[in-house]
Amino acid sequence: MEMRKGPWSEQEDLQLVRIVGLFGDRRWDFIAKVSGLRGGRIGKSCRLRWVNYLHPDLKRGRITPQEERLILELHSRLGNRWSRIARKLPGRTDNEIKNYWRTHMRKKAQERKRKPCPSSPSSSLTYISGAQSELPSEVVAESSSTSALGETSDDVVEGYSMDQIWNEIAMRDMISGLSSGECKDEVYDGMCSAIPSPMWEYCSYPLWKMDDEDFQAYH
DNA sequence: AAAGTATTCAACCGCTCTCCT
DNA sequence: AAGGAGAGCGGTTGAATACTT
């Protein structure tokens, strides 16, 4: 049977919602089979459509500044572990966050390239590496590898990978965002009080409440 | 108004992980 | 313990849309 690809029609969406309502959102191969979707969507495709688009708990609309800061913070800590990051942002999907990161952070990186910040000869890259030293080796390796974000060698600027650059941007933005008194939600309330201390200090684990599984993953 | 370029995001691919037998 | 199947994840692609010239 030919596998159906491409955008989902409204009809297909309705059918999928109906079937998931009946059988739950677990057995995707089964769901794909019984749904009778024209041309044969595979289970994987059904799952993706449900998780990223049809799930009733999904939040619609743009990423809020609070969410953005949370994404930046979580990414600086977790690297490209989008599903982990998504778990901390109710209603947002890993795909959404991943896309957001790629588009917005790349844009910021380009802006930053155009008007380089003259400050801090001891560039914050220094403390980024400090922050990364808090992470397990595989995370550090991941976030410094060029493949993680799919950039080509063109994206490597003066010996730094785009990941390093983006992390720096993320940290700077977090500092400016936090110090401008914008922190309203509880996550950031605690962090704001930590402000003038070095970045890597308040990025260390005790200031972040981790899930048990997160904690175990790193120890 | 048209053409060219950039951005966004849904969807696919391939790999890894987890669970079950 | 081994192997297979299904689920989940991260990276990538490409079509649609927005913006610029």
Give the per-residue pLDDT at A113. 57
DSSP A157: B
Question: A26 CA to C7 C1', in Å?
Answer: 8
**Is residue A119 located within the same domain as residue A184?**
yes
Is any atom of nucleic acid chain B found less than 7 Å from the CB of residue A205? no
Q: Domain limits at A73?
A: 65-218
The answer to whether A218 touches A136, Cβ cutoff 8 Å, is yes
Same domain? For A48 and A82 the reply is no
pLDDT, tens digit (0-9, with 9 covering 90-100), for A122-154: 333 333 333 333 333 333 333 333 333 333 333
- Residue A1, domain member (yes or no): no
CB proximity A44–strand B (7 Å threshold): yes
Please classify residue A110 by burial: count the beta carbons closer than 10 Å to its beta carbon, then call 0-12 exposed, 13-18 middle and 19+ buried. exposed
Q: Which nucleotides of chain B are near protein (any atom < 7 Å from a CB)?
A: 7-14
Asked if strand C comes closer than 7 Å to A33 Cβ, the answer is: no
Q: By the 8 A CB rule, do A63 and A100 touch?
A: yes
* Number of domains chain A contains: 2
Q: Examine the domain organization and report whether A49 and A98 are in the same domain.
A: no
The pLDDT tens digits of the residues spanning A165-189 come to 556 555 655 555 544 434 344 343 3
* Residue A168 to residue A198: CA distance in whole angstroms: 14
A44 CA – B21 C1', rounded, Å: 23
Q: Does residue A88 fall inside a structural domain?
A: yes
Both A69 and A164 in one domain: the answer is yes
Domain of A27: which CATH number? Answer: 1.10.10.60
